[in-house]
Amino acid sequence: MKIKFTFVAIAAAAFALVAAPLSPVPAQAQDMAKVHQSMDFLKAAAAKLGAPKLEATDVVAGKTVPAIYFGSTKINNNFDLVDAVVKQMGGTATIFVKSGDDYVRVSTNVKKDDGSRAIGTILDPKGKAIVSINKNEAFFGDVDILGKPYVTGYDPIHDAAGAVIGIYYVGYMKQ
């Protein structure tokens, strides 16, 4: 009897070890893992350009906002960085600049309903992400962006003095 019980226990443990990797990972966990990977990619690509800083102002979609740079590369109205993230990882990417109490999209591939890039639009001041950003913390979770549901990541961009000068964003539209 003891041998039979031991055999059943060993067989059950072996089945659990073999079956566990085959069981599907919940879609939400897969989506969030992809968001974290995309965020890492965006931040690494930005870091290769140089340290973030604000320098003078620039006009983005008719709004005068601070100009955000990574090294000597001005990001306002420049889509190379965000498009590289999407080419490699899919989804969407944005760089926001802090302008007063708002965060303005200065480089993005998030699209408005008319198909144009949503530059010049602001991060929802009543949304979930801004609460974390205002506490100098990253936010990862579900958010509506311009009326559409996304699984997202937002992470503060700091200058050399540690001040929050913008936000890194990546996200995937929910199916």
Q: Which residues contact 125 (CB under 8 A, 6 or more apart)?
A: 101, 102
Note the pTM of the prediction, 2 decimals: 0.83
The owner of tokens 């992400």 is 129
Q: Determine the number of helices (DSSP H) and then strands (DSSP E) in the chain.
A: 4, 8
Residue 174 or 48, more confident: 48
For 38-55, what is the mean pLDDT? 97
Q: Measured in Å, how far apart are the chain's first and last C-alpha atoms? A: 52
The owner of tokens 């893992």 is 33
Residues 157 and 94 sit within 8 Å (Cβ to Cβ): no
> Residue 59: its pLDDT value, please?
97
- pLDDT tens digit string along 64-89? 999 999 999 999 999 999 999 999 99
For 32-39, what is the mean pLDDT? 94
- Across-strand partners of 94? 108, 169
- pLDDT tens digit string along 87-131? 999 999 999 999 999 999 999 999 998 999 999 999 999 999 999
Q: Which ranges of 50-106 would DSSP assign to H, the alpha helix?
A: 80-89
Quote the mean pLDDT of the chain: 86
Q: Does the pLDDT of residue 152 top 90, yes or no? A: yes
Q: Does the pLDDT of residue 151 top 60, yes or no? A: yes
For 38-56, what is the mean pLDDT? 97
> Residue 147: its pLDDT value, please?
83
> What structural domains and CATH numbers belong to the chain?
27-173 (3.30.450.20)
pLDDT classification of 50: cutoffs 50, 70, 90: very high
Distance CA 50, CA 35 (A): 23
pLDDT classification of 27: cutoffs 50, 70, 90: low
